[in-house]
Amino acid sequence: MSLLILFGSLLLMVIFGVPVAFALGLSALFTLLYDGLPAMVAFQRMAAGMNIFALLAIPFFIYAGELMLHGGIAERLVRFANALIGHIRGGLGLVNVLASMFFGGISGSAVADASALGSILIPMMKKRGYDTDYAVNVTITAATTGILIPPSHNMIIYALAAGGGISVAALFLAGIVPGILIGLCLMVAAYVVAVRRGYPAETFPGVRMLMLSFVGAVPGLLLAVIIMGGVLTGVFTVTESAAIGAIYALAITLLVFRSLSWAGFRRATMNAVRTTAMVMLVIGTANAFGYLLALHQVPAATLQLLSGISDNPIVTLLIINIALLLLGCIMDMAPLILICTPIFLPVVVAIGMDPIQFGMVMMINLALGLCTPPVGSVLFVGCAIAKCRIEDTVKTVWPFYLAMLAALLLVTYVPAFSLTVPALLLR
């Protein structure tokens, strides 16, 4: 009965539009009261979930991305990507994906990626004769590469949900190849659709303009290099790297490019504060929810249930992927990471999957959910920028979904995609 109250109340509140953070906290509170435990336990678990030093990296990474977004870095990355591959048929679609891979390594946020690059590329693509649905579909799916290409605050949340025993640096490194793999798969899909629809190619601007655009993009691209380089060499921790990244982002946008206005600085700061508050509240309430999952032995029951369905690891992983894909359609990414990791991680470890690999599998699954109705936040952002209906976009997005599903299956069943880079660089 306790689990029925826990999951039933959560589901009802999500259906009725209660914010996820409040739904998690209230469902935990209702269950605690039913079990006869003091309500104070819920608040103690919330405080314990947020009072973790490593979580300081999250606001700094978010702030660095916001400063880059409002400091004009996205425009420089688009200019470089366009000079590099814009001359291919349907080049702006490929530019969209490549620019998202570049910017994803800076912002670490799919929503920020879609907002920044979508505002530039969607109007540009429509002006050049691309259909609106194509422009939106490329933008929203390409934006998900930012979740995998480091740095990514969602990986920090996953490490926390896994019990703190997983290296964040290893997760960052593990995301490089899957992130590039998704980008390449999306490029193939974008090219095929562009050829079928007869979209044009841009004019190659020449080697000189290519080099100039590269020089303009280098300071922005260096942010990811500085962060990962410092962590791998042991110069600073992940939390310290996030703070250095924020300082670097402020320095190059304010002092080098001089593209960050006072209004842009205020927007970046307020957006970072707002996003951090939302993420931290979700982490706190999800910790209280997770406490009840452990108290009622939900992970062990899930392992027993899946073992009863099949003892074949391929089938078990397929079931978990389907479950994560469906859950991603009805709930946002951060709370799902915090809820699903304690449930599914013991299952995949029992069948021999490395926790780092499972982290990549979870990221891709939930990234797909960001582009899927009814609660796909990245989908909403793309449609809002293009001023189009969600229904019109979803009808033609399937080639891009198939590309991401192909990448998901490769990462799920071929461990080398996730584990090779961490094994080479973290010996």
Q: What is the pLDDT of residue 107?
A: 64
Q: What is the pLDDT of residue 284?
A: 84
- Rounded to 10 degrees, what is the CA torsion of 48, 111, 365, 10? 50
> Residues 6 or more apart from 165 whose CB is under 8 A from it?
355
Q: What is the pLDDT of residue 190?
A: 92
Full-model pTM: 0.85
Q: What is the pLDDT of residue 108?
A: 67
Among candidates 379, 400, 398, which has minimal Cα distance to 388?
A: 379
Number of domains into which the chain is organized = 1
Among candidates 398, 394, 405, 386, which has minimal Cα distance to 322?
A: 405
Per-residue burial over 158-182, b = 16 or more CB atoms within 10 Å of its CB, e = otherwise: bbbbbeeebebbbbbbbbbbbbbbb
Q: What is the pLDDT of residue 358?
A: 94
The boundaries of the domain holding residue 131 are 2-425
With 0-12 CB in 10 A as exposed, 13-18 as middle and 19+ as buried, what is 228?
buried
* Cβ–Cβ under 8 Å, residues 9 and 34: no
What string of DSSP letters covers 23-35?
A: HHHHHHHHHHHHT
Average pLDDT of adjacent 10-residue blocks, the chain of 427 residues:
81 80 85 83 82 79 81 80 81 85 73 78 84 90 87 85 83 91 93 88 80 84 79 78 86 84 88 84 82 76 74 88 84 82 88 92 89 78 82 86 94 93 83
Among candidates 173, 170, 165, 155, which has minimal Cα distance to 57?
A: 155
Among candidates 367, 391, 386, 415, which has minimal Cα distance to 185?
A: 367
Q: What is the pLDDT of residue 282?
A: 81
Rg (CA), the chain: 21
